[in-house]
């Protein structure tokens, strides 16, 4: 992605997932914010424009953001730490899902299972390669295999974000393969 697209994407992630208050923005219950309001409140030095927002949405490597059908609002598709209701319905997961983490977290995960930590959900990928990239953000990566079919059969709900990330509340240790 181009530098200005990355800068815009980072800013949008910050205000739409974690800190809308940083610029005095308010999100609705489903995480949507008015694009004109963002343009009004964004720091001047970011030189944010409607065109830059549209480009950051279109060229985003993970399709992190969605614009409403009428073109006036924007939200993040997943990754929130603030409370939002994305209005996703529970769906049956594939048999196996993958979670990338850092080796230094493994001992704790063996004790507690996967916890959502600061986010609304535990994030899981359909392929091990994507999970390895996610894990590398935290240190030496390791990919854990989640037996999602057994979890679903045991009554755990799974959600699929609009950009293909699988979400669940927590993964008990009994459903994780560590090797
Ligand atoms: C770890 C990015 C110790 C967990 C990615 C992870 C993803 C534990 C870290 C999305 C634990 C939380 C989310 C336990 C979980 N003990 N550590 N019991 N349970 N952890 O960033 O999954 O690029 O909140 O393994 O691509 O790394 O921003 O979660 O290492 O989709 O769109 O606690 O963020 O998306 O870290 O990443 P994070 P994540 P974007």
pLDDT tens for 96-139 read 999 999 999 999 999 999 999 999 999 999 999 999 999 999 99
Q: Is the CB of 115 under 6 A from ligand 1?
A: yes
Position in ligand 1 atom list of the atom nearest CA 102? 30
The pLDDT of residue 149 is 98
Residue 75 and residue 67: Cα distance in Å, rounded? 7
Position in ligand 1 atom list of the atom nearest CA 144? 25
Q: Is residue 65 within 8 Å of 14, Cβ to Cβ?
A: no
Which among 14, 79, 132, 140 is the best mutation to test ligand 1's pocket, defined by most ligand atoms within 8 Å of the CB?
A: 79
Question: Looking at the predicted structure, is the pLDDT value of residue 164 above 90?
Answer: yes
Q: Is the CB of 120 under 6 A from ligand 1?
A: no
Closest CA to 12 of 2, 44, 46: 46
Which among 105, 139, 142 is the best mutation to test ligand 1's pocket, defined by most ligand atoms within 8 Å of the CB?
A: 105
pTM of the entire predicted model: 0.93
Position in ligand 1 atom list of the atom nearest CA 111? 18
- Considering only CA atoms, which residue is closest to atom 29 of ligand 1? 123
- How far does the centroid of ligand 1 lie from the alpha carbon of residue 112, in Å? 14
Rg (CA), the chain: 17
Region 60-89: what's the mean pLDDT? Answer: 96
The pLDDT of residue 4 is 84
Q: Is residue 83 within 8 Å of 120, Cβ to Cβ?
A: yes
Mean pLDDT of the chain, nearest integer: 96
The tokens describing 106, both together, are: 């493994």
Q: Is the CB of 108 under 6 A from ligand 1?
A: yes
The pLDDT of residue 1 is 67
The pLDDT of residue 23 is 98
């Amino acid at each position: 992605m181009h530098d200005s697209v990355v800068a815009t994407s980072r800013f949008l992630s910050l205000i739409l997932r974690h800190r809308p208050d940083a610029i005095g923005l308010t999100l609705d219950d489903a995480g949507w914010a008015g694009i004109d309001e963002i343009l009004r409140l964004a720091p001047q030095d970011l030189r944010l424009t409607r065109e830059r927002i549209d480009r950051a949405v279109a060229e985003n490597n993970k399709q992190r953001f969605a614009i409403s059908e009428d073109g006036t609002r924007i939200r993040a598709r997943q990754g929130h730490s603030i409370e939002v209701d994305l209005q996703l319905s529970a769906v049956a997961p594939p048999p196996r899902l993958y979670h990338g983490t850092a080796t230094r977290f493994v001992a704790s995960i063996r004790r507690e299972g996967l916890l959502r930590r600061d986010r609304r959900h535990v994030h899981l990928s359909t392929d091990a390669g994507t999970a390895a990239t996610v894990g590398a953000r935290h240190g030496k990566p390791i990919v854990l295999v989640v037996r999602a079919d057994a979890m679903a059969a045991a009554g755990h709900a799974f959600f699929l974000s609009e950009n293909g990330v699988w979400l669940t509340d927590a993964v008990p240790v009994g459903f994780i393969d560590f090797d």
